[in-house]
Amino acid sequence: MGRDDFRRELRDGFESIAGPPDSSLTARVHSALVEAPERRGPVWIAGLAATLIAALAVGALFIAGPLRQQNQQPVPGGIATPSPLPTSDVSNLPAITCNNATSVATEGHVGQPIAYVDAVRVGTHTGYDRITIEFQNGLPGDIHIATQNNATFTQGASGRQVVLQGSAGLLVSMHGADEYTHYTGPVDFKTNYPVLLESQQV
């Protein structure tokens, strides 16, 4: 499904539920887009605060991770390559905490009305795999993480079932994140890393 088809299907679904829009809605949306904040330096989020946009399929997260020997050197496979280490000073980033493994909160951070996704990268390191999502103008206001014991996900408004590599998964939902405006990179990463096998926007 192309981006235009997805947008059209999403718009039609919302219109059938919500009814006709308020007459001043167009002017408010236009005003918000025209008066969007200026581009600031990138904000790095490492670890579980992922996606896109997106869903992570974590193969053998609960089985292979603890059983994996620490002296093994993971070798990336597939089409993804490890991301370079961030060159910016990460000490000024807010601390990220997981509350009951279902929501992510950043201390002292107020989320942006719309956080624009600027880049998505994956990487593997000794003892862990990661996905990094970079936002152009700050963090989204609401991030939820749900674990599941399978790698089958429901794709957006279409309701289509997507089966990713692996035997378990994480669904990362970010409300207030916009991937379509600025991000033009891939939305499906087939990494074949030791734990993170595939990550895809659904």
Lowest mean pLDDT across 5-14, 15-24, 60-69: 60-69
What one-character DSSP code corresponds to residue 164? -
Phi then psi dihedrals of residue 49, to 5 deg: -70, 65
Query: Are both 2 and 65 inside the same structural domain?
Result: no
What is the maximum span of the chain, computed from C-alpha positions, in angstroms? 63
Q: Other CB atoms closer than 10 Å to residue 69's CB: what's the count?
A: 5
User: Per-residue pLDDT averaged across 14-28, rounded?
Assistant: 71
Check if the beta carbon of residue 106 is closer than 8 Å to that of residue 26. Answer: no
The predicted-structure confidence for 141-189, as pLDDT tens digits, reads as follows 777 788 888 888 888 778 899 898 888 888 887 777 776 667 788 888 8
Query: Are both 96 and 180 inside the same structural domain?
Result: yes
Give the model's pLDDT for residue 38.
57
Query: Are both 81 and 123 inside the same structural domain?
Result: yes
Report the distance separating Cα 197 and Cα 5, nearest Å: 28
Report the distance separating Cα 111 and Cα 103, nearest Å: 14
What is the H or E stretch that residue 168 is in? strand 168-175
Query: Are both 111 and 52 inside the same structural domain?
Result: yes
Q: In sequence order, what E strands does the chain have?
A: 55-58, 96-99, 103-106, 115-125, 128-135, 142-148, 152-155, 160-163, 168-175, 177-178, 188-190, 196-200
Report the distance separating Cα 161 and Cα 158, nearest Å: 9
Query: Are both 147 and 191 inside the same structural domain?
Result: yes
Selection from 37-51, 68-82, 96-110, 136-150 with the highest mean pLDDT: 136-150
Domain count for the chain:
2
Sign of CA dihedral 39, 44, 50, 54: positive
Check if the beta carbon of residue 197 is closer than 8 Å to that of residue 59. Answer: yes
Query: Are both 73 and 22 inside the same structural domain?
Result: no
Query: Are both 27 and 47 inside the same structural domain?
Result: no
Check if the beta carbon of residue 43 is closer than 8 Å to that of residue 93. Answer: yes
Query: Are both 1 and 14 inside the same structural domain?
Result: yes
Cβ neighbours of residue 32 closer than 8 Å, sequence gap 6 or more: 113, 114
Q: Is 60 left (phi over 0), alpha (psi -120 to 50) or beta?
A: left
Query: Are both 87 and 12 inside the same structural domain?
Result: no
Report the distance separating Cα 120 and Cα 81, nearest Å: 12
Query: Are both 105 and 159 inside the same structural domain?
Result: yes
Q: Is residue 1's pLDDT more than 80?
A: no
Give the model's pLDDT for residue 29.
72
Query: Are both 69 and 120 inside the same structural domain?
Result: yes
Q: How far is CA 132 from CA 50, 58, 85, 112, 156, in A?
A: 6, 15, 11, 18, 22
Range of the domain at 12: 1-35
Query: Are both 120 and 27 inside the same structural domain?
Result: no
